[in-house]
Structure 1
Amino acid sequence: MTDIVIIGAGIAGLICAQRLTEAGYSVLVLEKSRGLGGRLATRRLYGTWADHGACYLKPKGELLGNFVQLLRDRHILELWANPTQPDSAPRYIVPAGMSAIAKFLAQGLQIQLNQLVTAIHPTPENSWCLTLESNAELTAKALVLAIPAPQALTLLAPLGETVLGREFIDNLSSVKFYPSVSAIAGYAATSQPLPAWNDQKFTDDAILGWIGLDSSKRPHPQQPVFVLQSSAKFAELHLENPDLQPVGKNMLQQAAQRLALPWLETPEWMQVHRWRYAFPSLPWSHPVLSAQASIPLVCCGDWCGGYLAEDAMMSGLAASVEINNYLYQLPLPNLDFFQLFAT
């Protein structure tokens, strides 16, 4: 039996796992995808790679600022200059891809990828039993769900109010998300001259939310690569489309018209990805959401307390405190968790 199982290998889950592991607990992280990071997603394709989730870090608080400095010292992050607004707030990118941040956070952790949890139930021994898609079962003394609230609700709702409490189910159900569609498009190296900007944000467009020249983040790019992110309303209209290629083409056409770059309509290649739970539209108001269960169960993520990367970090730290209080009250590392990696 493991002390703690954490479902989800995004920022919140990895930070929670690091802190509890450092305290002395046995911790297992389960991730349904083939890679780490959640929205810190990097897609490798056509001899290059592109960030089709979070595209940069923009630190505002002290915690994320300190973490950014650590990653800069390790030459993982670099400043992403904004040629059109040189005095704007600094933004940091990862030349190796944003998922490298998650790989950094995952150092030393016990993680199993491609492991989808399909059911959870309590055992007579007062532990949690998790059933995986492979029909394998795992048991743990405590459980952390570091995944979007709707996904957590799907897993936990079958347990019912008797196990988890009515208030917990209602609070989990209250969290809502905006969807998004991301399109990655690559162009011939001999295309028209590239724009002077690295990215553009659209606040009033029915189709587009953002476009970035992803290849400007890469060392020695072989071709121009753009990443486009849709507006939430456009994503809602097309989220269930079985074929997203026409959706991506629509986004490229809109970008070509808005930016007066007609060649954007004709990429050499394109991949499109749907984010069903891209940004919390109605987040939970606290850093964690704990069940009123006899066995420790805590939910955390960027939807707890806000919607930014720093909110995910704070939520992961808060979840580690909550679980530790339920279990053995071991001494936890300093709240400045980045010090765990400073040696």
Structure 2
Amino acid sequence: MSDRIVEFDIAVIGAGIAGLTCAQQLRCLGHSVVVLEKSRGVGGRVATRRLYDTQADFGAPFLDPRERLSQQLVQVLSRAGIVVPWTDTVYQVQEGDGQLNPAVNLSAPYYVAPAGINAVGKFLARHLEIWRCRRVQTVTPTDQGNWHLELEAMGDSGDAAVPLAVRAKAVVMAIPAPQAVMVLESGESGLPGPFVDRLKAVEFDPCISVMAGYPASKQRELVQGEYRGRSLLFPPESPLRGLFWQSSKGSGATQPVFVLHSSAEFAEKYLDATDLESVGRELCDWVGEWVFPWLKDPEWMQVHRWRYAFCRRSLTEPLLTAMTPLPMVCAGDWCGDRQIETALQSGLAAAEWVSDRLGGGPMPPLASLWEAIATKK
């Protein structure tokens, strides 16, 4: 394992949508940037799992292009063949009768990636230096006027030559606020108390996601019956938040795959459960009661818990900044209430703030940033 310490202008912690957008903008402005990500993949909650010869988007199920930044991104992704329109109607499930009533008629359709929604994260990660399987343990200022970041190799640590320490003139923390608090409080960051207190005030709701596959005969029934329920919502009192027909996102699916999202209340109850399979089966039982009885009996199932799924109490500004003792900015989809749109806004605002502090040039138009990512080899 290398004991080198590599220096960059900026270290971005977290390879979610906000972190990748911020890093891309800073790279385009000529800064040296490293992205530090504790998992193997990129995209954060824009996540896909490969399993049983198929795939499931177990985090964000789609892109909603009704806001300006998301719309610009979707346009570029569409031209690149990464995303396609999926549905323009969200349905509300009524208990017991299986009736689907339109809850929202969208002004623009939701978009999905047939290859998996994490293709969006992979697109935003192009050309960036990303150190995967590296969790930041501490962030401390040095006497030389830069931040020192101690890293921990996670699981299969990937490239053993990647160092376990980084130094940077500025740090962008693009991870959920509670995780940022844990990092900052694990060392002597020297950041002002009010800065950390603002982070502590941000609160998240959890969610439990179930990926479930069913017999191939059921897929044929759904297609032949022109089933409309690609995206379903459930009443507030239900233990279910949403149900998404995963196998309708691309052509050639041989079996139906659905992804269930639990309510926050249900997830709180089982967040630390050791037997996640039983939790998943309980949710399948519920969705069988509300939609199709055969949804109670999947051929296979995997369960994932999201501790920081949806921001319940968000920051009211697009980012949180400090200059004492050195430039530090926190950003993410918790800096507002529009999830991916907020993540894009916050990531761009963080890049502009950091570049201003380090003497960077003017910010390029966002459309040119997306096009540069798409066209650069």
> If the TM-score is normalised by the length of the shorter chain, which range does it land in?
over 0.9
Q: Which residue of 1 aligns with 2:156?
A: none
- Does residue 258 (structure 1) correspond to residue 264 (structure 2)? The answer is no
The CA distance in 1 between the partners of 2:185 and 2:320, in whole Å, is 15
**Rounded Cα–Cα distance in structure 1 between residues aligned with 2:336 and 2:296:** 39
- Partner Cα separation in structure 2 for residue 91 and residue 97 of structure 1: 14
- Tell me the percent identity: 45
Structure 1: gaps of 5 or more residues: none
Please report how far the alpha carbon of residue 137 of structure 1 lies from its aligned counterpart in structure 2 after TM superposition: 1.4
Among 186, 194, 218, the residue aligned to 1:191: 218
Counterpart of 2:348 in structure 1 is: 317
Residue 240 of structure 1: SS of its match in structure 2?
coil
1:260-288 CA-partner distances (Å, limit 9, x unpaired): x1111111100000000001000001111
Once residues 311 and 230 of structure 1 are traced to their aligned partners in structure 2, the CA distance between those partners, rounded to angstroms, is 23
- TM-score using structure 1 length: 0.95
1:185-206 deviation per Cα after TM superposition (whole angstroms, max 9, x unaligned): 0011123833442121113233
Greater than 4 Å deviation, 4+ residue runs: 82-87
**Structure 1 counterpart of 2:211, one-letter code:** I
| Structure 1 letter corresponding to 2:114 | P
CA contact (8 A) 1:43 1:50 kept: yes
For structure 2, the residue ranges without an aligned partner over 5 or more in a row are 1-6, 92-101, 154-162
Q: Say if 2:251 is the partner of 1:201.
A: no
Partner of 1:222: 254
Amino acid at match of 2:257: V
Among 216, 222, 234, which residue is 2:266 paired with?
234
Aligned to 2:68: 62
Tell me the alpha carbon deviations over residues 75-94 of structure 1, each in whole angstroms, 9 at most, x when there is no partner. Answer: 11111135775953311111
AA paired with 2:259?
Answer: V
Structure 1: distance between partners of 2:8 and 2:278 = 46
1:308 and 1:119 mapped to 2: Cα distance? Answer: 27
Counterpart of 2:131 (choices 100, 112, 125) is: 112
Determine helix, strand or coil for the equivalent of 1:133: strand
Q: Is the 8 A contact 2:137 2:186 kept in 1?
A: no
Q: What is the RMSD of the two structures over their aligned residues, measured on CA atoms?
A: 1.8
TM-score, normalised via structure 2 length: 0.86
Separation of aligned partners in 2, 1:58 and 1:29: 26
Q: Which residue matches 1:164?
A: 191
Q: How do residues 112-191 of structure 1 correspond to structure 2 at under 5 angstroms?
A: 112-134=131-153, 136-159=164-187, 163-191=190-218
Distance 2:54 2:21 in 1: 29
Q: How many residues align?
A: 341
Question: Compared with structure 1, are the counterparts of its residues 305 and 151 closer, same or farther at alpha carbon in structure 2 (3 Å cutoff)?
Answer: same
2:106 to 62, 84, 88: 88
Q: Is the 8 A contact 2:29 2:360 kept in 1?
A: no
| SS of match in other structure, 1:164 | coil
CA distance in 1, matches of 2:254, 2:266: 31
Distance 2:235 2:24 in 1: 37
Deviation at 1:292, TM superposition (A): 4.1
With 174-183 and 124-133 compared, the bigger mean Cα shift is at: 124-133
Report the structure, 1 or 2, having the larger strand content: 2
Paired residues of 2:138 and 2:187 also in contact (CA < 8 A): no
2:157 maps to none
Mapped partners of 1:36, 1:15: distance in 2: 12
